[in-house]
A and B are shown apart, each in its own frame.
Chain A
Amino acid sequence: NAGVTQTPKFRILKIGQSMTLQCTQDMNHNYMYWYRQDPGMGLKLIYYSVGAGITDKGEVPNGYNVSRSTTEDFPLRLELAAPSQTSVYFCASSYDGNTEAFFGQGTRLTVV
């Protein structure tokens, strides 16, 4: 049972570089989310999707982009990495907005 799979687990980026964080789920969930977790700040929603082809901004979308071409995949794109994007990123999925979310193991990103 894979659940939600995120890659990579760790990454160091230089300022201005770009990268894509991959997320895939095998539970046929409609909703998918990207959160970032900073020390003492809890989880902040970056973007979310309620189904293939539909995405919407969360609390902190600036500097990120997403796409949802399939039900399974929800990649997060950082175009011009900045030190402020140093964080732990979590992808999650749920059947709908009222059911529990299943989380990936997280990606620790450092921008230097």
Chain B
Amino acid sequence: AQKVTQAQTEISVVEKEDVTLDCVYETRDTTYYLFWYKQPPSGELVFLIRRNSFDEQNEISGRYSWNFQKSTSSFNFTITASQVVDSAVYFCALSGLPGGYQKVTFGIGTKLQVIP
């Protein structure tokens, strides 16, 4: 079975603070993919990043950065200098082969509130 744990259900930060969203995953697969999605208050889900299990390089995209560590089965997401527009629910997801066809498992999400 595969599992994604986002232990932080809600986080509040003041604008311009840095914030890290945690994601811990479980899988028996040696090849798998990890994702982050953003769900703003408007409700749609927006893809942010994909990482495969063989690529442990950290990635930075503007104010966003991701830290993938296989040793701790974690794929954490950091927002630097947070802005009000970052307020959203963020989902971590894992794609693997727990049996049958490829399946994607989502965490329960972390609700981020950025206070002006």
Binding site for B on A (CB under 8 A): 31, 33, 35, 40-45, 48, 50, 56, 58, 88, 90, 92, 96-103, 105-106
Q: Which of B44-52, B59-67, B79-87 is the interface stretch?
A: B44-52
B8 within 8 A of A: no
Q: Distance in Å from the Cβ of B85 to the closest Cβ of chain A?
A: 19
Count of residues in B whose CB is under 8 Å from the partner chain: 22
Question: Are A105 and B109 interface neighbours, CB within 8 A?
Answer: no
B78-115 Cβ-contact flags toward A at 8 Å (1 or 0):
00000000000001000100001111111111000000
Question: Are B33 and A98 interface neighbours, CB within 8 A?
Answer: yes
Question: Are A100 and B35 interface neighbours, CB within 8 A?
Answer: yes
Q: Distance in Å from the Cβ of A18 to the closest Cβ of chain B?
A: 25
Q: Which residues of A contact B47 (CB under 8 A)?
A: 100-102
Q: List 26 A-B contacts (CB under 8 A).
A: A35-B106, A40-B9, A40-B108, A42-B6, A42-B91, A42-B107, A42-B109, A43-B91, A43-B106, A45-B103, A45-B105, A58-B103, A90-B45, A97-B101, A97-B102, A97-B103, A97-B104, A98-B33, A98-B50, A98-B95, A98-B102, A100-B47, A101-B47, A102-B47, A103-B45, A105-B43
Q: Find the B residue at minimum CB distance from A92.
A: B45
Q: In the complex, which of the residues A31, A97, A103 contacts B44, with contact meaning CB atoms closer than 8 Å?
A: A103
